[in-house]
Amino acid sequence: MNKIAVLPGDGIGPEIIAEALKVLDALKADGLEIEWQEAPIGGAGYDAAGKPLPDDTLNLARQADAVLLGAVGGPQYDTLERDLRPERGLLAIRQELSLFSNLRPAILYPQLADASSLKHDLVAGLNIMIVRELTGGIYFGQPRGIRDLDSGEQQGYNTMVYSESEIERIARSAFDIAQVRGKKLCSVDKANVLEVSELWRETVDRVAKDYPEVEVSHMYVDNAAMQLVRAPKQFDVMVTTNLFGDILSDIAAMLTGSIGMLPSASLDAQGKGMYEPVHGSAPDIAGKDAANPLATILSVAMMLRYSLGETAAADRIEDAVGKVLSQGLRTADIAAEGDKTIGTKAMGDAVVAAL
């Protein structure tokens, strides 16, 4: 029996997770062996247990075969002490479970080609995989803080650090993926300025020797951002640091027309993973039945495929999502001008019907 931990989180998190669970319920009725238990994280964790990653939630996640997460964060938590803010819960679970390899596909569904802000021919057929390092770099580097200077003013500081072993394992993860895709890997850094990037580049080149079939290139992050909007189809797999990956994956998401369509996986060395939509908690539309549940539903498909080995069920979900898009069903975020839109629940129901 596959056991999963479901962490709805904040904002639109509970609504989109509810639709994903409808889909899992339908698969279960057809014989998929799966059970789940829910627990709070983020602001919901703070409300329930006084911290963004409650101990019970972490224990549940540790015992599960995979974790399904909605989203965290909301304006009501922004004034909390930094360590209690919802985002810290997300960072903590990534670190506690050693989920160092974050896969963020940016795929343009042909049905949605007009939703992209780029010209049709630039993005038609787009299929990029961004592999983002997720448990190191400036997000976790010490020292960090805000200190008082003798001059009387304050100074904020963070540290971007990567050890060779951290670079090596994320590089291997990316090469493994490139190997089974288009065999092209672009490593993104800032080696013209940062020593940490110099080591990154050297280490990626060393790992590359074990993957002679994969064509490797290196790009500075500023250029990579530009190339992503200039000619995105030049990329197959990109591998980069935690911070650069955060930024580039938002750009890549927008190329596809809607961040509301994109799932993600965060994997440890054994392939256990946490699955979540790339978008955030969208507090402005929370509770309005306006969010797009498809990124979360597609995250379930990724979970079935990557952590649970349930390929057939994953295929069924992805096919069903393709079908509802072909039927012209659109939530507001993926609607073109003049399209009639449907709500979160109706979209979830449509996917279940299309299964």
Minimum CB separation from Mg ion for residue 342, in Å?
27
Rounded to whole angstroms, the maximal C-alpha distance in the chain is 68
Alpha helix locations (H) across 265-341? 294-306, 311-326
Q: Which position among 55, 222, 315, 319 bears the catalytic label?
A: 222
- Which does residue 87 touch among Mg ion, ligand IPM, none (CB within 5 to 8 A, set by kind)? ligand IPM
Residue 222 is among the residues annotated as catalytic for this protein: yes
32/310 Cα distance (integer angstroms): 8
Residues 205-264 that bind ligand IPM (CB under 6 A): 246
Q: Which of 87, 168, 268, 289 binds ligand IPM (CB under 6 A)?
A: 87
Q: Residue 297 in contact with residue 19, Cβ under 8 Å?
A: yes
Question: Which lies closer to ligand IPM via its Cβ, residue 53 or residue 90?
Answer: 90
Any contact of residue 246 with Mg ion (CB under 5 A)? yes
> Which one of residues 27, 90, 113, 298 is an interface residue with ligand IPM (CB under 6 A)?
90
The two three-digit tokens of residue 118, written as one number? 């780029």
Structure tokens at 51: 């911290």
Active site residue 25: no
Interaction between residue 15 and ligand IPM (CB under 6 A): no
Query: Which residue in the block uniquely carries the two structure tokens 């990557």?
Result: 306
Cβ count near 109 (within 10 Å): 18
Q: How many CA atoms lie within 13 A of 152 on its CB side?
A: 0
- One-letter amino acid of 274: M
* Least Å from the CB of residue 93 to ligand IPM: 11
Residue 219 interacts with which of ligand IPM, Mg ion, none, CB < 5 to 8 Å by class: none
The residue number with the shortest CB distance to Mg ion is: 246
Residue whose tokens read 């997000």: 139
Active site residue 250: yes
For the CB of residue 130, give the shortest distance to ligand IPM in the complex, in Å.
11
Write the CB contacts of 284 (distance below 8 Å, at least 6 apart in sequence).
none
Which candidate, 331, 324, 251, places its Cα nearest to that of 288? 331
- Rounded to whole angstroms, the Cα distance separating 88 from 51 reads 9
Q: Which stretch binds ligand IPM (CB under 6 A): 5-13, 86-94, 231-239, 286-294?
A: 86-94
Burial class of residue 165 (count of CB atoms within 10 Å of its CB; 0-12, 13-18, 19+): exposed
Residue 10 annotated as catalytic: no
Site membership for Mg ion, residue 276 (CB under 5 A): no
Q: Which stretch binds Mg ion (CB under 5 A): 27-35, 190-198, 206-214, 245-253?
A: 245-253
Q: Taking contact as CB under 5 A, which single stretch among the options 209-217, 242-250, 264-272, 311-319 is the one that binds Mg ion?
A: 242-250
Peptide bond into 143 cis (omega under 30): yes
Tell me how far, at minimum, the Cβ of 352 lies from ligand IPM, in Å: 27
By beta carbon distance, the residue nearest ligand IPM is 87
Tell me, yes or no, if 139 is annotated catalytic: yes
Angle between helices 13-29 and 294-306 (to 10 degrees): 50
Cα separation, 294 vs 298, whole angstroms: 6
Smallest distance from Mg ion to CB 245, Å: 9
**Beta carbon of residue 250, minimum distance to Mg ion (angstroms, whole number):** 6
The residues carrying an active-site annotation are: 139, 190, 222, 246, 250
Q: Can you give the binding site for ligand IPM, defined by CB under 6 A?
A: 87, 90-91, 246
Q: Which positions lie near Mg ion, rule CB under 5 A?
A: 246
